[in-house]
Amino acid sequence: MIPVQGYAGATVAVLGLGRSGLSAARALREGGANVLCWDDFDPARAKAEAEGFALRDLNKNGAFDDVMTLITSPGIPHLYPTPNPVIAKALAAGVIIDNDIGLFFQSFATPDWTGFDTAPKIIAVTGSNGKSTTSALIHHVLEHANRPSQLAGNIGRGVLDIDPAVDGEVVVLELSSYQTELARALTPDVAVFTNLSPDHLDRHHGMGGYFAAKRRLFSEGGPDRAVIGVDEVEGQYLAVQMAQGPADDRVIRVSVDRKLSGVGWNVFARKGFLAEWRKGRQVGSIDLRAIKGLPGSHNHQNACAAYAACRTLGLAPKVIEAGFASFAGLPHRSQLIAETCGVSYVNDSKATNVESAAKALQAFKNIRWICGGLEKEGGLDGLLAHLDAVKKAYVIGREAAGFAMQLKGIEVEVATTMQAAVQSAIADAQTGDTVLLAPAAASFDQYDSFEKRGEDFAACVQQALAHV
């Protein structure tokens, strides 16, 4: 646990008692704060009360009269589309609002560090797609290189649940826009921006607000190094803002769309080969094509970002390459779950939006595509240019028929359920095909999470193959 600093003796309220909320409450109490907890759901309140926390209904008038700060969970809206009623009361009362990420950054460093030979570092990764894989890949490479490392944030452990740092440790954080938009402290040593595509637009009141939430990790944090994907105009803008000039190697530009030139520090991948250029000459390269845990250009982008972040720590290209080679990938992200009779079965349930699904469709050939679910804003038009490898689509979800009508130019079957989709895809599959779950939609019409959807796909595949 990371005890929260700066609140000893102060009254702090915690709203939302899920994983991050309870973790924040514990860390605040460990740091000497007087903690008051609230959640609108009885079971969450009961769990906090069982741990000895005092409850206060923050909806009532006067609830914030003695409160210094309100800590809120990431999923609770504080501005758009409308503020949560409790947060609206806190705003009206002039109470400081923060989250567990802000508490972590203000509390991570301790006086013990003065005795370390090498100060611990934080690498923080954000972006629309690929941030989980990028974060896990950085952590994996560090472990392979025998560097002490912890993985936390939106992946792994809660940020305040990690262990206090040891000499030379690197903490790798995956941070969502929900986490970065509100944190009052954001001070990573290395900040990574993978890419940007439309997502969570209602929460951020459009693309401008969404990008602004991601950008805070750089503009507020002032990282020593910034690794920035420049395949979208927002990344190009961010890179220019962070750099003092073309040769400023505090900014590392990353691309999978083109070769990057110039006198700065660039990492890019073309046709499966990663190349690192610095001061106008090539200084490193990796053949990514044979690395099974990193299939497709979207994973090559993740590899470029992870490579750049690891290079800022002084790791040699060969060490990073060896770490990449043993990376198995993450569950539900281009995860190979079976391979039999010449047919591959790939679980990319994390492809919850059009952009990530398009990347998955570009990574494989001869695709039997299982898709559908709770459609996000903007429709499916962004997918239509990436259907060349799709032999047939099998649509699931409560609105499967409406989803299927938008998939023009390919054969489509309205399967509705995962079991029916998997059975049809296996029956149709031929040698050389890939049965790919890449939904291009949220899971909540049929599942509690994308993880549950991916697990159901894997279970349906195993069950169906057992009877083939």
Residue 448 CA, chain-centre distance (Å), reads 18
Q: Could you check whether the bond before residue 188 is cis, i.e. omega within 30 degrees of 0?
A: no
Give the pLDDT score at 322.
Answer: 97
Can you name the CATH fold of 11-98?
Rossmann fold (3.40.50)
Give the pLDDT score at 221.
Answer: 81
Q: Is 122 helix (H, G, I), strand (E, B) or coil?
A: strand
Give the pLDDT score at 330.
Answer: 86
**In the numeric block, which tokens belong to residue 195?**
């890419």
Ramachandran assignment for 379, one of left (phi > 0), alpha (psi -120 to 50 degrees), beta (any other): left
**In the numeric block, which tokens belong to residue 288?**
């990514």
Cα-based angle 174, 286, 325 (whole degrees, multiple of 5): 65
DSSP result, 7-29 = -TT-EEEEE--SHHHHHHHHHHH
Give the pLDDT score at 422.
Answer: 98
Give the pLDDT score at 390.
Answer: 98
Give the pLDDT score at 413.
Answer: 98
d(CA 375, CA 357): 12
Do 110-325 and 335-463 share a fold?
Answer: no
Give the pLDDT score at 355.
Answer: 87
d(CA 229, CA 212): 16
Distant-in-sequence, close-in-space partners of 168: CB < 8 Å, separation ≥ 6: 116, 117, 118, 120, 147, 148
pTM score: 0.87
DSSP result, 172-201 = EEE--HHHHTT-S----SEEEE------SH
Q: Please report, for the chain, the start and end positions of each structural domain, with discontinuous segments joined by +.
A: 11-98, 110-325, 335-463
**Measuring CA to CA, which residue among 296, 280, 309 is closest to residue 174?**
309
Q: CATH classification of 110-325 is 3.40.1190.10, yes or no?
A: yes
Give the pLDDT score at 70.
Answer: 98
Give the pLDDT score at 296.
Answer: 87
For 335-463, CATH gives 3.90.190.20
Scored b (16 or more CB within 10 A) or e, 431-446 reads eebbbbbbbbbbbeeb
Give the pLDDT score at 379.
Answer: 85
User: DSSP alpha helices (H): ranges in 351-406?
Assistant: 354-363, 400-405
Give the chain's residues under pLDDT 70: none
